[in-house]
Structure 1
Amino acid sequence: MENIQPQSFPTLSSHGKLFTFRKLLPFLGPAFIVSVGYIDPGNWATNIAGGSSFGYKLLWVLLLSNLMAILLQVLAAKLGIATGRSLAENCRENFAKPIVYFLWITATLAAMATDLAEFLGAALGFKILLNIPMFPAALIAGVAVFFFLWLKKFGHRSLETVIFLLVALVGIGYLVELFWAKPDWGAIGQNIFVPSIDSQSILVAIGMLGATVMPHNIFLHSDIVKSRLIPGNKEHNRNLLRFTKIDSVVALNLAWFINSAMIIMAAAVFFKNGIAVESIEQAHATLTPLLGTASSMIFGIALLSAGLSSATTGTMAGQSILEGFMHIRLSPFVTRLITMIPALVLIGLQVDTLQVLVLSQVVLSLQLPFTIVPLILFTRSKKLMGEFANKPWVNTLAYLIAAIVILLNGLLLYQTFGGKFTF
């Protein structure tokens, strides 16, 4: 990913009032681009599955995942600021070649799984809104994503602004959906803070974790934050990290609200009425008799916005991973064209899209340790990070997150091979 020239951004100074909105505004953006991956159609699939099957029971998973995501994304951004290199580039520079190749392959598989979910979601959005077959909807989605990638030629701010507007559209859409759904706020409050899980809900919970804490987002954030970096200007870069933390907290909490709204809506509308939702198309169709035509239309618009924006940023993440690990740079249009092929094949074979989306999130979850562990190893290193190295308490939290992810992945594999358990 290209670095923007330093003069494209104001220099952050310690003089005067540092945290004014006017000074903060030029440095907002990278976390909002990253946050799109946290509300992509893969999240829709796992959230609808979780809410319609288990009610409000899995809301606590989203809270836990969001807190984990904020810390990990801040660490990723800090790595890019402190070293001037992305996570993928740091892996290439600091690990032996066999490890680099292994990490590149796993990261690429995760990015492909993500991209599949995002592109399928964009195609579903066009299918729902235009009432056309899935394959032509996918072709239209491809053209639309090419248009968003083309916007990059006008500068990063143009793309960031469009992405922010699409995220805001998704958020507004679900705010309206919540108003119509009339959920049980008492049950919501209880299930956000009181964990509950069993052998029936573990697969969906793991998928939600994979959909919320996403490997390709960590790679992408460590790369795009470099556009705000001024090499050699320690004061600017130190203050840049402070603004980056604000950027991450605001953007990811917005994503958490949207994800929570998805589960709440599914629980209040589908679970409450005893409706087993087996596809996103069914969720859309079922909203019409339950909440009215306007609700189903808003659902389709929000899905299309999420799919298009995430498919665009997913392409950027794939570029970052390929360039960082292998020093191979492809045009984003070529990357997008290549990654469209698996989605078009699945659509042509008429595969169950909801199952594909849910399973794609499980793939992401299984890859997470191979992204989190290198990130922690690098950001705790004083030799590599200097004054930006993690504090001991940050390392402790990061170790805890890694342990939780590995434990949950182990439970998933245990169940996959026939194991049973109850919490």
Structure 2
Amino acid sequence: MKRLFAVALGILTAIGGFVDIGDLVTNAVVGSRFGLGLAWVTVLGVVGICLYANMSGRVAAVSGRATFEIIRERLGARAGMANLAASFLINLMTMTAEIGGVALVFQLVTGIDPLLWVPLAAFGVWIVVWRAKFSALENATGLLGLSLIVFAVAVFLLQPDWGHLGMQLIPRIPESESGSTYWYYAIALFGAAMTPYEVFFFSSGGIEEGWTVKDLGQTRANVLVGFPLGGILSIAIAACATLVLLPQAIDVTSLSQVVLPVVQAGGTIAFGFVVVGIAAATFGAALETTLSSGYTLAQYFGWSWGKFRRPARAARFHLIMLIGLVIAVLVLLTGVDPIAVTEFSVVFSAIALPLTYIPILIVANDRQYMGRHVNGKLVNALGLVFLVVIVAASVAAIPLMIITGAGQ
């Protein structure tokens, strides 16, 4: 049983990071417009996040320090500040989207305006972050999030023509869509898969759990179980939208449309599972992003941090998280659409990717911190290939956003 719970951090990171509100919405939108023609981006994102999350976790296990601490020390205050500014702002935008996502889940169940749920959702996140142990946080949220497997079950219940569905996997641009829109959503999917906070949360979570060199096998297990699972669920979400929403030309503008294929496939029971899964995924992602806001600032400035310390001994760490939650609530109370925030957050994540992943590659190759556990030649080769993809996505994101009117 302990070995099963040992991979809970990877499951939480995947469920709360890979399958968060951004991934739920983006995959449903893509499935309803492009079918499975962009599934290859999800596969690419899974490989990329596995590669860099494993580096980040290995850095934490070998050095005994979180990645962000070493980035500042290794690259200097200015380079570290650029990384911090980009990561923190994207993280704050993502946190806002996740709090909004939790509120949308409650609206889905009760029919009550999500604005009334926003303060309660943020308060719930704060209570858990403040009082719950890290192990309880990751185990409960990660395991409840597995209810999202209902999307994969729904694909089978919908009894598709498997040959036709398989043909959808061939990358192609539908006649109703432009090439610019296709590549815009490809970048959005890639940004959703490789959101910067995931690697910082994963690294900091390793310190929370006391990883050492002896735990490198566990680190790899977390990565190789959690993120591919998230990728499978992401493709299942897109497949559900492909089977139900695409033929009816239904545009995804609300959470109810995301879950519509599951309800059509499995009725009330399936609806119950999908609500639990989405609630766990969005709440887990809200916890991750809230913790990541505290992790990044505290690690950069050298403050005391971590769930393993009492709040009174890591006061600034907890204060930063509280301020972040207050900002997220204030933004959402303006009436901004959480779905719109989500769609913008994944694209801006893609823009910030180089500032996150280039430093990680540098640190993972530094023998001063890593000793004999530096990257091997194959890992470095793959890392450099992905850096080319990351930089290309970052450079193309804003022009494509302007050209397509944010995917319209």
Fold equivalence (TM over 0.5):
yes
2:192/2:346 contact within 8 Å kept: yes
Counterpart of 1:101 in structure 2 is 81
Alignment of 1:38-187 (within 5 A): 38-152=18-132, 155-171=133-149, 173-187=150-164
Of 280-289 and 310-319, more deviation after overlay is shown by: 280-289
Counterpart of 1:9 in structure 2 is none
> Identity over aligned residues, as a percent?
23
Q: Tell me, in whole angstroms, the C-alpha distance in 1 between the residues paired with 2:87 and 2:32.
A: 31
SS in 2 for 1:199: helix
TM-score by length of 1: 0.84
The reply to whether residue 247 of structure 1 matches residue 222 of structure 2 is yes
Go from structure 1 to structure 2 and tell me whether the alpha carbon gap of 1:381 and 1:191 turns closer, same or farther (over 3 Å shift): farther
* Superposed CA offset, 1:178-226 (max 9, x none): 243334433444455x444631222222111111112111111122212
Match of 2:299 among 318, 321, 324: 324
Alignment of 1:299-378 (within 5 A): 299-328=274-303, 329=305, 330=315, 334-378=319-363
2:373 partner letter: F
1:31 partner letter: G
Q: Tell me, in whole angstroms, the C-alpha distance in 2 between the residues paired with 1:297 and 1:29.
A: 23
Go from structure 1 to structure 2 and tell me whether the alpha carbon gap of 1:69 and 1:185 turns closer, same or farther (over 3 Å shift): farther
SS in 2 for 1:170: helix
The reply to whether residue 216 of structure 1 matches residue 193 of structure 2 is no
SS in 2 for 1:278: coil
Q: Tell me, in whole angstroms, the C-alpha distance in 2 between the residues paired with 1:293 and 1:44.
A: 20
Counterpart of 2:248 in structure 1 is 273
SS in 2 for 1:200: helix
1:129/1:297 contact within 8 Å kept: no
Counterpart of 2:311 in structure 1 is none
In the TM superposition, what is the alpha-carbon distance from 1:49 to its structure 2 partner? 1.1
* Superposed CA offset, 1:365-396 (max 9, x none): 11111010000011122233111001111100
Q: Tell me, in whole angstroms, the C-alpha distance in 1 between the residues paired with 2:159 and 2:375.
A: 44
SS in 2 for 1:201: helix
Q: Tell me, in whole angstroms, the C-alpha distance in 2 between the residues paired with 1:402 and 1:333.
A: 33
Q: Tell me, in whole angstroms, the C-alpha distance in 1 between the residues paired with 2:318 and 2:168.
A: 43
Question: Which ranges in structure 1 are unaligned for 5 or more consecutive residues?
Answer: 1-20, 231-236
Question: Which ranges in structure 2 are unaligned for 5 or more consecutive residues?
Answer: 174-178, 306-314
SS in 1 for 2:398: helix
Of 308-317 and 341-350, more deviation after overlay is shown by: 341-350
2:394 partner letter: N
* Superposed CA offset, 1:7-38 (max 9, x none): xxxxxxxxxxxxxx76x446433322322211
Q: Tell me, in whole angstroms, the C-alpha distance in 2 between the residues paired with 1:283 and 1:99.
A: 40
**Alignment length (residue pairs):** 389
1:178 partner letter: V
* Superposed CA offset, 1:386-407 (max 9, x none): 1100111110000001111111
Counterpart of 1:225 in structure 2 is 206
**CA RMSD in angstroms, aligned pairs only:** 2.6
2:361/2:383 contact within 8 Å kept: yes
SS in 1 for 2:248: coil
TM-score by length of 2: 0.87
Q: Tell me, in whole angstroms, the C-alpha distance in 2 between the residues paired with 1:410 and 1:146.
A: 36
